[in-house]
Amino acid sequence: NYGLLTVDASCGLLQHHRKKWGNMSNSDTQAALMFHNRTKYLPYIEELGDKQDRMGEPPNTGPAMGEQSPINEPLPYKIYTTLDPIELPRDFPSLTTSGLNAIAASGDLDVSGAVPDLNDIARICQLSNGILKRGSHRTGRVIDYRSAGATGARYHLELYLVCGDLPDLPAGVYHYGAHDHSLRMLRSGDFRATLVSATGSEPAVAQAPLVMAVTSTFWRNAWRYLNRAYRHAYWDMGTTLANVLSGAAGSQFSTKVVFGFADGQVNALLDVDGEREATLSLVTLGRTDEATPSAPAVTPLDHPTQALSSSEIDFPDIITMHQASSLQSGDEVARWRTEPMRRSLPEPVEKVVPLAPIDSANIPNIPVDAIIQRRRSVRHYDVERPVPFDAFSTLMDLSSSGFSADCLTTGGLLNDRYLIVNNVEGLEPGTYVHHPDRGALELLKAGNFRDDAARLASGQEYAAAAHVNFYSLVDLDLVLERYGNRGYRLAQTEASLLASKLHIATHALGLGAVGSTSVDNDVIDFFSPHAAGKSYMFILTFGMRRRRTT
């Protein structure tokens, strides 16, 4: 399923051997369906006495994990070797907005004249892709703990900023260096009009003093997860965006996630090739009434960067899927984002349980930056203590609070939320589906499903111990019919972003959570007939934390 990509540390790309499925446009949705099927996880099978993780669809299956050779392990940072750093503040004023309110915010604030300064930029970058602390492995290796988690700690996302003149930062295109918490100017001048053109004159982009671009260097995740790294690109971006949006809401900045853009035009502005590193989304930060000036011409750059690896492996399914879901022009983008899809679950037919969120007067008043700094991946749960029902209800509300996006309605969600409930105060154990428009759960089947939870989560025992297993499932055919192959990007990101809002919020309520993985088809079978015809996108487990013991 992959060919060899050889990279020389001084000369760059030397050889690139690839097999493709053929040229596919955004409207040929077979590309997304083929990719999704080829990256499904399968149940454990026994081979030579060992349990092997497998991926694909029988009979065309292969390993789910790469060789992970330390010889070519990628550097987790993009480091420009000749550009001078612009140091960002490390001590900035703490936010005062209630963290849970900031996490729940959609970002659609009518606050004109809200322009970020260097403190705001430093905070949002730090909270979304910065280093929280450094530790050491038992082997002596230094480990950097980042503010937003990544699948397998294979950090592969980069942040870029495109801005006009800000109070203490001149107009330009910048890269955020997570390794040293600094900006580096890639281009001098106001290039926002380039993004206005690339997004088909998206109003939020035209009014934004600052636009953040999120990219992925796929190899840094594929080193471990092979072609499935393309799913992870959007899972991990959802985690990062949850932090970006929450941090911006804490500072009262309006935000909008922009999925519609001409990929080649934005990649050229950031000077990334669109294959090894590609733009995944844009986020507007703040709002101004000033007109965006004409942009300078976008010319190729030649800023050298430190080599990621002595050699790399190319994963053609990732490149082909990304190209097949790309848009070519601003005009195509404008047509693509019209008439956002609206959908809802069928009316409940089983027992309905109304939710009872925490009263607004009793919401913990913890700033969102403090909550994000507490965020950890929690895999140890206290199975004896139940999750309080009001805390659980609050988290379910957060999981459907939505976010402002160019091609989605804030309340009309693509993904549906299915649950295995093991231990929530006053709630019968069993399987449920969430009806956000009713503020209620529908009981699908009562019973103890802890063993099933572990089985579905690829044998992860913490899923059995967790109080709740929270699944995002989507009618992929319906989404692709409306949005084309790019709908696959939307479905994966929405699932992760809303689950990540929930994840952050657990740490404000004395709970903990962790994202996991699942056996795709088994999840659908388990929740059927209600989930029949849907596709697995994401899973989060959460519950009462238990201290680790020796």
pLDDT in tens, 143-161: 788 899 899 999 999 999 9
Q: What's the whole-number mean pLDDT along residues 388-415?
A: 90
Please check whether residue 543 is in contact with residue 466, taking contact to mean a CB–CB distance below 8 angstroms: yes
SS3 for 550? coil
Q: How many other C-beta atoms are found inside a 10 Å radius of the C-beta of residue 410?
A: 14
Counting beta carbons within 10 angstroms of the beta carbon of residue 84, is it exposed (0 to 12), middle (13 to 18) or buried (19 or more)? exposed
Rounded to two decimals, the pTM is 0.93
- The rounded percent of the chain whose pLDDT value lies above 70 is 92
| DSSP state for residue 507 in the 8-state scheme | T
* Torsion over CA: 271, 273, 274, 276 (sign): negative
Distance CA 511, CA 544 (A): 5
Task: Looking at mean pLDDT, say which of 110-119, 402-411, 459-468 comes out highest.
Answer: 459-468
Angle between helices 476-483 and 30-38 (to 10 degrees): 140
Distance CA 423, CA 464 (A): 11
Q: What's the whole-number mean pLDDT along residues 212-235?
A: 97
Q: Check pLDDT > 90 for residue 98.
A: no
Please list the residues that pair with 3 across neighbouring strands: 314
According to the model, what pLDDT value does residue 9 have? 34
Q: How many other C-beta atoms are found inside a 10 Å radius of the C-beta of residue 63?
A: 13
Tokens coding 480: 């692709």
Supply the Cα-derived Rg of the chain in whole angstroms.
22
> Binning pLDDT at 50, 70 and 90, where does residue 18 land?
very low
In DSSP notation, 423-453 reads -BTTB-SEEEEEETTTTEEEEEEES--HHHH
Best CA proximity match to 209, nearest among 269, 161, 140, 262:
161
**Helices of type H across 285-405:** 316-324, 330-336, 368-374, 389-398
Distance CA 248, CA 254 (A): 7
* Torsion over CA: 302, 307, 310, 313 (sign): negative
Residue range 47-66, pLDDT digits in tens = 544 567 789 998 889 999 99
According to the model, what pLDDT value does residue 376 have? 82
